[in-house]
């Protein structure tokens, strides 16, 4: 019997993110960047460069250690590799970092970097220091396709997925900035990673998986999977794979408890509804009381912040017997936003109801607002220009060309 596959449903947003791997753009200098390559990938690159097999196995192990454990960016610093081989490596390979267009530091110590890829695409990462931890917020895409209406990043068009190297490169650059080489399990400032920057990680599954596997490798960056959280807006079909193949903590951008409201502010809900999403959370591999699922809930005035909403949130989480924690996020305003932040009193009331229902519901303290580094504010500088400003610049360029 012949079967006919159904046409894929469109994803809400500007572009349907078809999950087909794209060929990586080659560097203009013809060299291969080793950042983002697995141990096997480094060995394969050495073999392709002409190194014989036995030596490639040894050199790949040495290079891995120097790159991911020691943070080296120059082959000449690799003291256990023969000096005569340094030029051969330098001719064929680089150990890259993202280009830093701008680095900002907030009044509260939060750091934000605007980064640029070799093909001229901009993306951002944020480091949030606390007394007991330091969290790096990592981007997975240039832009975003989901159009969540409260999120500034969601107003950007999706340009492309970031590669595993660009994902790992954010962690490497943060380590450089914090002076945290060589890698060590204790005493470091960068203790946690959240895949909560620009983009939807589960629409870039393969590259996110490859990048995080490098970050979690005990011989390299050595960050425990218990210290890594992947956030999704609710890409239900990919959630089980994330639990099984990556195994990190899960955060879900819930933000509403009724279909009408979530359809409005998280358009992906029209494809994967609340009940389907919560069932996928209940089925998430490894979730238990020691590793609770975090539900992100941005507080929007008169939209999702009533006492009735709070009671419904408790009911839903209990219905699916979810080991849950709810992060209540005061809305971070941005120019042109259609919403306002709930009042502090309303947020407190909401939090108290959820706590009384037996579910932890702390209110997240906004960080980095003064440099647009807070939750939902990430948007590259190029995208922040007004249409009138971009039109003026285009006219000026045309005039300059005669």
- DSSP letters for 308-351: HHHHHHHHHHHHTT--EEEEEEE----TT-S--BPPHHHHHHHH
375-388 tens-digit pLDDT: 444 444 444 444 45
Tell me: pLDDT of 14 over 50.
Answer: no
Tell me: pLDDT of 393 over 60.
Answer: no
φ, ψ at 245 (rounded to 5°)? -100, -25
In the prediction, which pLDDT does 187 show? 80
In the prediction, which pLDDT does 368 show? 56
State the Cα–Cα distance between residues 101 and 122, nearest whole angstrom. 9
Can you count the helices (H) and strands (E) in the chain? 12, 13
Omega into 182 within 30° of 0, i.e. cis?
yes
State the Cα–Cα distance between residues 1 and 283, nearest whole angstrom. 33
Alpha helix ranges (H) inside 198-320: 205-216, 236-241, 259-265, 274-282, 307-319
Compute the radius of gyration of the chain from its Cα atoms.
Answer: 22
Select from 175, 139, 36, 39 the least CA-distant residue to 94.
36
In the prediction, which pLDDT does 373 show? 46
Question: Model confidence at 34, in pLDDT bands (50, 70, 90)?
Answer: very high
Q: Say which residues have a Cβ less than 8 Å from residue 106's Cβ, sequence separation at least 6.
A: 112, 367, 368, 369, 370, 371, 373
For the chain, the residue count is 402
Question: Model confidence at 272, in pLDDT bands (50, 70, 90)?
Answer: very high
User: So which residues are the catalytic ones?
Assistant: 124, 375
346-376 tens-digit pLDDT: 999 999 999 999 999 999 886 655 655 444 4
State the Cα–Cα distance between residues 256 and 277, nearest whole angstrom. 12
Global confidence as pTM: 0.85
Question: Mean pLDDT across the stretch 178-191?
Answer: 87
In the prediction, which pLDDT does 153 show? 66
Placement of tokens 């070799």 in the chain: 118
Question: Model confidence at 338, in pLDDT bands (50, 70, 90)?
Answer: confident
State the Cα–Cα distance between residues 190 and 184, nearest whole angstrom. 11
């Amino acid at each position: 019997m012949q079967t006919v596959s159904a046409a894929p449903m469109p994803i809400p947003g500007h572009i349907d993110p078809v999950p087909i791997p794209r060929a990586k753009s080659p560097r203009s200098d013809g060299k291969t960047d080793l950042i983002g390559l697995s141990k096997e990938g480094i060995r394969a690159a050495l073999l392709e460069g002409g190194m014989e097999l036995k030596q490639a196995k040894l050199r790949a192990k040495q290079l891995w250690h120097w790159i991911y454990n020691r943070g080296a960016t120059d082959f000449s610093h690799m003291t256990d590799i023969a000096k005569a081989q340094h030029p051969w490596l330098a001719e064929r390979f680089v150990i890259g970092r993202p280009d830093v267009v701008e680095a900002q530091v907030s009044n509260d110590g939060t750091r934000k970097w605007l980064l640029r890829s070799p093909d001229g695409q901009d993306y951002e990462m944020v480091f949030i220091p606390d007394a007991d931890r330091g969290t790096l917020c990592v981007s997975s895409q240039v832009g975003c396709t989901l159009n969540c209406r409260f999120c500034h990043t969601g107003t950007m068009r999706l340009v492309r997925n970031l590669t595993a190297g660009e994902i790992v490169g954010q962690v490497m650059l943060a380590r450089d900035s914090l002076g945290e080489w060589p890698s060590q399990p204790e005493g470091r400032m960068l203790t946690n990673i959240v895949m909560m920057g620009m983009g939807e990680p589960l629409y870039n599954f393969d590259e996110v998986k490859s990048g995080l596997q490098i970050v979690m490798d005990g011989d390299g960056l050595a960050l425990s999977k218990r210290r890594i959280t992947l956030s999704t807006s609710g890409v239900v079909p990919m959630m089980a794979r994330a639990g099984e193949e990556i195994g990190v903590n899960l955060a879900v951008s819930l933000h509403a408890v009724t279909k009408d409201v979530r359809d409005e502010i998280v358009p992906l809900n029209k494809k994967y509804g609340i009940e389907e999403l919560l069932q996928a959370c209940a089925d998430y591999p490894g979730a238990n009381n020691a590793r609770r699922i975090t539900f992100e809930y941005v507080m929007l005035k008169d939209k999702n912040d009533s006492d009735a909403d709070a009671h419904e949130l408790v009911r839903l989480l209990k219905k699916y017997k979810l080991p849950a924690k709810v992060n209540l996020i005061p809305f971070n305003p941005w120019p042109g936003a259609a919403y306002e932040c709930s009042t502090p009193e309303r947020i407190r009331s909401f939090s108290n109801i959820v706590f009384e229902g037996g579910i932890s519901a702390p209110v997240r303290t906004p960080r980095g607002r003064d440099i647009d580094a807070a939750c939902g504010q990430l948007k590259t500088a190029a995208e922040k220009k007004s249409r009138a400003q971009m039109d003026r610049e285009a006219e000026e360029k045309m005039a300059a060309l005669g």
